[in-house]
Structure 1
Amino acid sequence: MEKSTTPPTTVVLPTTAPTSAVPTATVPTPAGPTADGSWNWGLWEELVTSALLGTDRRPPAGLAGTAAGGLPGALLDAAALHTVRRRAGLRPGPAAPPPDPAPEDPRRPLPPAARRRLDQLLAGRATPSPAGRRGAAPDLAELLPQWLALANERGYKAPAAGLPALLDAARARTDLRPQALRLAGPRGLWLARLNPEWRFALRGAGAGGSLPAPGDREAVRALWDEGLFAERVALLSAVRAEDPAAGLALLASTWSAERAEDRLMFVDSLRSGLSAADEQFLEAALGDRSRNVRATAAELLSALPASAFAGRMAARAITCVGLDRTAESPTIIVEAPHECDTAMQRDGLVASPPAGRGERSWWLGQLVEAAPLSCWPLRFRGRGPEEIVALPVADDWRDELHAAWCRAAVRQRDAAWSRALLGSPATPPATGPGTASLAERAQLLSTLPPGERARWVASFIAAHGLSEAFQLLGVCEVPWAEPLGGAVIDALDIAREAGSYPWSFSGVMGLAERCLAPEAARRLESLTARPDEAEDTSPGAGGYWSEAFQRLVSTLRLRTAMRAELLDVEPSPDSAEGQLSAPPSP
């Protein structure tokens, strides 16, 4: 509420206020109307300044006659009195115009059970158990993303009363925003305009149906010319998904006028629907004044094996890597570049290596990474990816060369090269082909079909256990298909039986709660009992394992109930509608 610019000349305090609340001796003389009838509003600033600096260093002018020992109390009394005066002197501000009515959302409402479930999930995490342990109750906050995804798949809209809590949850967790804003729909965006704390929704990726249909050229053009940056990025992605050529034309129409940081995001949007038709535009972007834009354009061109860029990189790469004709057995020999010339830099190569890297190895890695993988079978006399990867590499260039091939396989989404570089899952990572980095192995796995990916990770877990598999599990399709789910359960059971530290597997256990197929609950029930603890096991480990498996079973059943509620069908007897409280402790 705004302070009136013409405060009243007199102020009448409520008659019910006790007159003894503020002793007359401590009332500052400047407090009140001045001689000309205007109010002394500067006194408040004087009191605040004295409170910050201390009454000894800056006694308020209005309290100068008060005894020195009572100045702090007198200042507080004066501040209390002046607060009442300030409030009494405020006039109601003009009424704001009412907001426009909320738009209609044509999607169907949630079933009653699903609506109640959403309220429970938005209420947050289940109450933790004593001693800081998670307890056996499902973690509701971790189930919210799955619930939102399922609700959006079914085409539901959020209940009007739940929109504030939904927007608050999206504000607190960025990972929830795409799905939460999609469920909130146009009414969520309408509400977000009324609260500054929800302004993030207006900067979101066109959530809630705010984007025009890609075929509506007039509306698309208007939003592209006048929309917020994030809306324009979302619009370009949507148009590219529908009509890649139209999306490219939209971007080209304003490219020269865009800011460098905006151009980077826009050119990155061309990944969707990338084809040879984008080559001319990307070639021109290689001359952009922004290094990041040039690097992104080069990365996209390297994903087009038939492009002129790919041909240039292949020509450079094969002069650096080939077969040693003097060796008794086939061996790869490497001659790294001796310089990074202007043409190489225009094609996206970064001349200065990061700290700790040699220049020549840095340039070699970039060349091989950008070269099309199709050039290597010809270079190595018709050998396929597995044969090439198996060849020895002279002069300790193997790790550098294989790492570059790994990046190329991920960039070009080449499953054959990914299989060759992954090797057998039973082979220890340190001695296998390709790379020992689990992060790079996870990226290679992402290029394989989901079923093959799950089988490979299941075999890896069977051979090496769970401790090395956490990153690999993160790229597998959810819910985990067999035999992956069974391999995870077996490995957890083995760890429990071996008396391992249970908290070492808390990350995998949390991942299993979200990713195991709900049908696995029946198989896990036998593991919820407290095992007998041997002398060489960690103290209390048996109880922790029992509690963790109870939580896992409860979570899987709750996920089953959530799906049934969203399908508006009767949940199965195993799904347990009320899986929100912990079962009795063992």
Structure 2
Amino acid sequence: MSGPMNGAANGSADGAANPAAGPAKQTAPGTMTAWEDLVSTALVGTERRPPQGVPAGADPAVELLERAAVQTVRARAGQRPRAGEPLEAAPREEQPVVSRAAADRLARILGGERPRVLAEWLRTAAGRGYRLAPHLLPELLDHAARDRSIRPHAGILAGRRGRWLAALNPAWDFLLEEVTAARPRPEVWELGTCGDRRAYLAALRAADPGAARELLAAAWEKETPEDRAAFLEVLGEGLSLDDEPFLEAALDDRRREVRHEAADLLTRLPDSRLGRRMAERVARRFAVARGKLEVDAPFECDAAMERDGIRAKPPRGTGERGWWLQQLVARTPLGVWGDLLGRPPRELVRTKIVDWEREVMAGWVRAAVLQGDPEWARELFASDPLADLLAVLPREEQETVAAGFVRRHGLDGQLIMVLGGAAAPWGPELARAVLHKILELSGTQPWNLGELTKLAGERVDPALYGLAERLSPEPPIQEVAALLRFRDDMLKELS
């Protein structure tokens, strides 16, 4: 090291510039500390000022850096402990703890065994009002910090000790806003977490829709925009025309998310004022001529349209007129189209559309899903199989339609996505169709057979594990059977 800013010693000098890296020791004026001596040597260079006591044959620059490293460690580790206050003990729990067998299984799941059933374990345990054993809390909260979808269940399962821990660790403080009880009490509306208040409002809505709406209306102006949007979503249960005046007023809210949630709910009420306004708009833009559907897309999105839930700015790559048209169709009551165009849904979805066909069809799909119309969903699914449309059908019909689709469709990404719309647990008809599809393809081993196998293991009713075990000794079938048996044992431990 021949110069003051040369070699690795320059890095030590840079480190010395940081007060946090230096020792906290105070010295009398005029006295140089060991750290200051090292810094001075680094600045002028070891050739001009070699460190004292360098062993024979040792490199002075290396010796300087080693001494600096030792001093840095001493400075950081040798701080005096700060005075602290003892923590208050965690409050006593009210919820029953899960059984030892259930806790052991959760530990295995968190450790990597069958990790995709974690959400089912948590949902089931939380729904039954259990809490976790304390030793499982840190790992579960770490999982919930990464996965928002399991946080509502974690809020219940963590119990009072979990919230006590969350108050001590900023990484877990999300828990302080989650629901804390499977059956919240009335007092949580005033004093509970955001999650508790949503859960209480949902429970009240299921029991007395009018009382829930009046409770929300009384507190509406004091709620945050985020909470107003979340509370509106709760009103989807038990929705009726009695809710229309409140929802119509919410269309004037300052927050866009609140306005759009209100518009979505009003769209589900075909006799609402919003529904009539949408019907008037589409009446000017649709007509049947020479057996074809002629469409005139809007040229502007005015303030009245925006108030009714039409987003003015289209997504990237989408034209404005097509975007506005698609939303108009989606928010128009589906019963309007038969009167307007003189054709039932079966004929309408097969009618030639001169222009804007993609936008009109997308609007009808969105309307069928939003309004929960099985007739339209059935006809649209026949021409464009989508998971969202399948989910609109009654439970028994879902099974039949999905099983038929599995039998006639090859194994591809669409099949996997469509099956995602079939509500779990799958019954025998759909289970057999999927298992036979797996068996049919097990010899060819397509790239996504493993995904179908996992999906079957996660969605089939676990009590049907015997059906899979007896079907075939082929490894993919036995893999489904093993996962079903795992889930069946898991649910029994939580019962």
Change (3 A) 1:304 1:86: closer
1:537 equivalent in structure 2: none
| Structure 1 position 220 matched with structure 2 position 189 | yes
Counterpart of 1:11 in structure 2 is: none
Mapped contact 1:466–1:488 kept (Cα < 8 A) = no
Q: Does 1:289 align with 2:235?
A: no
Pick closer, same or farther for the CA change 1:221–1:94 going to 2, 3 Å. same
Deviation (angstroms), 1:282: 2.3
Q: Which amino acid aligns with 1:359?
A: E
Task: Give the total of aligned pairs.
Answer: 465
- Output one character per residue of 1:90-139: Cα deviation in whole Å (capped at 9) or x when no partner: 2x4334133144222243x43343333233223x22xxxxxxxxxxxxx4
1:119 corresponds to 2:107: yes
Q: Equivalences for 1:257-406 in 2 at 5 Å? A: 258=223, 260-324=225-289, 327=290, 330-381=291-342, 383-390=343-350, 392-406=351-365
Q: How has the CA–CA distance of structure 1 residues 72 and 203 changed in structure 2, closer, same or farther, with 3 Å as cutoff?
A: farther
Kept in 2, the 8 Å contact 1:285–1:297? The answer is: yes
Equivalent-residue separation in structure 2 for 1:238 and 1:420 (angstroms): 35
TM-score w.r.t. the length of structure 1 is 0.70
Q: Is the 8 A contact 1:485 1:516 kept in 2?
A: yes
Of structures 1 and 2, the one scoring higher in RCO (CA 8 A, sep 6+) is: 1
Amino acid in structure 1 at the alignment position of 2:67: D
Q: 1:260 to 1:557 in 2, by over 3 A?
A: closer
C-alpha root-mean-square deviation of aligned residues, in Å? 3.5
Q: Output the CA distance in 1 between the equivalents of 2:494 and 2:226.
A: 41
Q: Would the aligned equivalents of 2:287 and 2:295 in 1 still touch at CA under 8 Å?
A: yes
2-structure distance, mates of 1:482, 1:31:
72
Q: Aligned pair in 2 of structure 1 residues 363, 58: CA closer, same or farther (>3 Å)? A: farther
Q: CA deviation at 1:394?
A: 4.0
Change (3 A) 1:486 1:237: same
Deviations 1:541-577 (A, max 9, x none): xxxxx3x44433322222232233334xxxxxxxxxx
Percentage of identical aligned residues = 38
Cα separation, 2, equivalents of 1:449 and 1:191 = 44
The answer (yes or no) to whether the contact 1:286–1:346 under 8 Å persists in 2 is: yes
What is the alpha-carbon distance in structure 1 between the residues aligned to residue 448 and residue 217 of structure 2? 52
Q: 1:522 to 1:340 in 2, by over 3 A?
A: closer
CA distance in 2, matches of 1:75, 1:290: 59
Q: For residues 468-507 of structure 1, give each alpha carbon's deviation from its aligned partner in whole angstroms, at most 9, with x where no partner exists.
A: 311111121222112111111111111124x243x33221
Structure ranking higher in helix proportion: 2
Given the alignment, which residue of 137, 148, 171 partners 1:197? 171
Deviation at 1:527, TM superposition (A): 3.7
The answer for the alignment partner of 1:581 in structure 2 is: none
Aligned to 1:442: 387
- Relative distance call for 1:249 and 1:39 in structure 2 (3 A) is farther
Give unmatched runs, 5+ long, in structure 2.
1-22
Match among 40, 56, 77 for residue 67 of structure 2: 77
**2: CA distance, partners of 1:366 / 1:358:** 13
Query: Which string of whole-angstrom CA distances, capped at 9 and with x for unpartnered residues, describes residues 28-47 of structure 1?
Result: xx99652379996xx76997
3-state SS of 1:469 partner:
helix
State the alpha-carbon separation in 2 of the partners of residues 263 and 477 from structure 1: 29
- Determine if contact 1:192/1:202 at 8 Å carries over to the other structure: yes
In 2: Cα distance, 1:190 partner to 1:446 partner: 40
Paired with 2:307 and 2:76, the residues of 1 have a C-alpha distance of: 67
Q: Which residue of 2 aligns with 1:35?
A: 28
- 2:402 corresponding residue in structure 1: 457
Contact 1:32–1:39 (8 Å) recurs in 2: no
C-alpha displacement at 1:88, in angstroms? Answer: 5.3
Structure 1 stretches lacking a partner, 5+ long: 1-29, 126-138, 424-431, 530-545, 568-586
Report the more deviating stretch, 234-243 or 157-166.
Answer: 234-243
Give the whole-Å Cα distance in 1 for the aligned partners of 2:176 and 2:339. Answer: 52
Matches within 5 A, 1:571-586: none
| TM-superposed deviation, 1:83 | 4.1
Change (3 A) 1:59 1:284: farther
The Cα shift of 1:301 comes to 1.5
1:351–1:72 Cα change, 3 Å: same
Q: Does residue 1:207 correspond to 2:180, yes or no?
A: yes
